[in-house]
Amino acid sequence: MSTIRLQATDGTFFEFDDSAPAGSGGMKEVFFSMDRRHVVGWYRKKPDANAMERLKTITGIYRDRIFSQEGGAYWESLFCWPSHVIEAQGFVGVVMPAYQPHFFFAHGSKNDDFLGIRGKEKEGKWFASASHQQRHLDPRERGSWLSYFTVCIKIARAVKRLHMAGLAHSDLSYKNVLLDPAGGNACLIDLDTLVVPGKFPPDVAGTPDFIAPEVLRTVKLPNGAPGKCLPCIETDRHALAVLVYMYLLYRHPLRGRKVHDDDPQRDEELGMGERALFVEYPTDPSNRPDPAPARPGVPAFGDVERIPFTVCGPLLKEVFERAFVTGLHDPAQRPSADDMERALVRTVDLMQPCANTACEQKWFVFDNTTPP
């Protein structure tokens, strides 16, 4: 064990164990503090002056605006928010809280963890498809359909708080969310590149599957070009709607059978960008997904005729229509994070336990319009 004592730019001292790596990503190498309550992520490439100013603003004024207000402690469970910036020997690091224990797989996958994920992070992607859940994950990791409403409420609430502070995540996706459905917990991560509109522009266009159509449509334009669209609060709203749709219905709202070009890359650009079309568009069925062959024990969520988005109830139906019909190519029409949170909360009030003890979802939305 090798203890390194370092001073943050605000004068706070931290002790880290440089023999205890906590993981690594595309931009940072991460190490635990001595008490395992924090980690420091060392950037592989030193941030430029603008990025340093962004980091200091995120760890300073914007952190204070959220966590120093009345009720600020509530947000500590929903954000893995950077707290300090460290500069040492030509390197720059950012101090963050360590992930809470419930965001690591306790049981992992089926068959005595045949995928070897026990003890690893519960990245949100694990919970966004029926195949992952039913075929791979240990049942104790899955939670019920009600618990997915709970985690979606928390994600929407966290995004709403960012937007209220004038911030955009800019890369909201299932890779930047930790989920614990069984416990009803969710947390936004990778908050060191938040966008401050008009001051700190985005570093990335986003993650495929979650990039808003207008961003993908103009992604090849140089920065500053007329018509160039960058990640912002409106694009966060698109990504949030995609996340919620995927966590509740285990499929993507735009990935259907329609082919726009023989070249796969161009087809992706068109299908998720300029010509994006909701798979459940009410008057155009051309992008309906082909139902996947039935698999034992896997619900038919890929079949939009058997399990349409209306199973989520009338409140979410209206929100999804605003997100993927009227607002898909008109960002001003998209539902806000507050709209999404309200619809989710009110829908939970309509949920009833399923009488079928073999039902994997265990709950359903009952709005008193059809027999239960």
Looking up residue 61, the CATH number of its domain turns out to be: 3.30.200.20
- Domain check: are 285 and 166 in the same one? yes
pLDDT of residue 362: 83
- 370 part of a folded domain: no
- 371 part of a folded domain: no
- 336 part of a folded domain: yes
- Domain check: are 69 and 113 in the same one? no
- Domain check: are 289 and 247 in the same one? yes
pLDDT of residue 154: 98
pLDDT at 1 over 70: no
More confidently predicted of 133 and 366: 366
pLDDT at 198 over 70: yes
- 206 part of a folded domain: yes
- Domain check: are 126 and 194 in the same one? yes
- 344 part of a folded domain: yes
- Domain check: are 18 and 144 in the same one? no
- Domain check: are 180 and 308 in the same one? yes
More confidently predicted of 171 and 371: 171
| Residue numbers of the domain that contains 323 | 103-365
Final residue in a domain of this structure, among 98, 113, 137: 98
Q: What is the mean pLDDT of residues 264-291?
A: 93
pLDDT of residue 309: 95
Give the 3-state secondary structure of residue 56: helix
Whole-number average pLDDT of the chain: 89
pLDDT of residue 147: 94
In the chain, the amino acid numbered 130 is A
- Domain check: are 89 and 107 in the same one? no
Q: Which tokens belong to 266?
A: 């161009």
pLDDT of residue 235: 97
Give the 3-state secondary structure of residue 178: strand
How many distinct structural domains can be found in the chain?
2
pLDDT at 185 over 80: yes
Q: What is the pLDDT of residues 339-362, one digit of tens each?
A: 999 999 999 999 898 888 878 788
Final residue in a domain of this structure, among 52, 68, 98: 98
Q: What is the pLDDT of residues 240-254, one digit of tens each?
A: 999 999 999 999 999
In the chain, the amino acid numbered 84 is H
| DSSP of 238-307 | HHHHHHHHHHHHSS-SS--S----SSHHHHHHIIIIIT---TT-TT-GGGPPPPPPPBTTB--TT-TTTS
- Domain check: are 210 and 321 in the same one? yes
- Top mean pLDDT of 58-67, 72-81, 200-209, 320-329 is at 320-329
CATH of the domain at 169: 1.10.510.10
- Domain check: are 43 and 183 in the same one? no
Q: What is the pLDDT of residues 284-301, one digit of tens each?
A: 999 998 876 556 555 677
pLDDT at 174 over 60: yes
